[in-house]
């Protein structure tokens, strides 16, 4: 085997390792999201996926695979939008966006983060208690944010301008 052939083989191995890793993260994300939908009793139509590495096309219906990508921070990122209207009649619809950061560990467990302040949750995909703890954490985080959203805005020090801006 020539040196070039060895490089080609190393490249093929590297590519296979990459695709296998992303597929493992994808399977875990699917299991995690499906468990969340079941746990919270969310209608499947109230959940959408979106990519976080590009501007999502609002006319496109992304799959989980289309929304997940491995980013430079070594985590797989997956954008999930949950519409908070049971019968989908409210216009405009209130939606929350969650960006999951998923990384597989050497021991087979996964670290999952949902924002920059989140230290991460170590989850064994086969552990109902690990999954439940994460679902409870995420539920409380979202609920707390929804309940304090107006108050946080009113206490912010940012300036919001209405009308014309004069220079």
Residue 165 is assigned to a structural domain of this protein: no
Residue 160 is assigned to a structural domain of this protein: no
Angle between helices 3-40 and 128-155 (to 10 degrees): 80
Residue 162 is assigned to a structural domain of this protein: no
Residue 10 is assigned to a structural domain of this protein: yes
Residue 161 is assigned to a structural domain of this protein: no
Residue 159 is assigned to a structural domain of this protein: no
CB count within 10 Å of CB 129 equals 9
Residue 156 is assigned to a structural domain of this protein: no
- pLDDT computed for residue 167 by the predictor: 42
For the chain, which residues score pLDDT lower than 70? Answer: 86-92, 157-167
Q: How far apart are CA 158 and CA 43, in angstroms?
A: 37
- Domain total for the chain? 1
Q: 44-56: per-residue pLDDT in tens?
A: 889 999 999 988 8
Residue 120 is assigned to a structural domain of this protein: yes
Range of the domain at 78: 3-151
Q: How far apart are CA 113 and CA 40, in angstroms?
A: 19
């Amino acid at each position: 085997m020539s040196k070039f052939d060895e490089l080609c083989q190393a490249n093929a191995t590297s590519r296979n390792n990459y695709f296998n890793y992303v597929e493992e993260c994808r399977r875990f994300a699917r299991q995690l999201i499906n468990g969340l939908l079941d746990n919270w009793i969310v209608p499947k139509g109230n959940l959408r996926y979106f990519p976080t590495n590009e501007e999502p096309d609002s006319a496109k219906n992304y799959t989980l695979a289309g929304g997940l990508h491995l980013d430079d921070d070594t985590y797989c990122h997956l954008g999930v939008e949950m519409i908070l209207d049971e019968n989908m009649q409210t216009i405009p619809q209130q939606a929350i966006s969650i960006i999951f950061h998923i990384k597989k560990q050497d021991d087979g467990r996964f670290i999952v983060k949902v924002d920059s302040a989140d230290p991460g949750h170590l989850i064994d995909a086969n552990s109902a208690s690990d999954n439940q703890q994460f679902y409870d954490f995420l539920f409380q985080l979202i609920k707390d944010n929804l309940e304090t959203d107006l108050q946080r805005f009113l206490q912010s020090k940012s300036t919001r301008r209405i009308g014309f801006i004069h220079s």
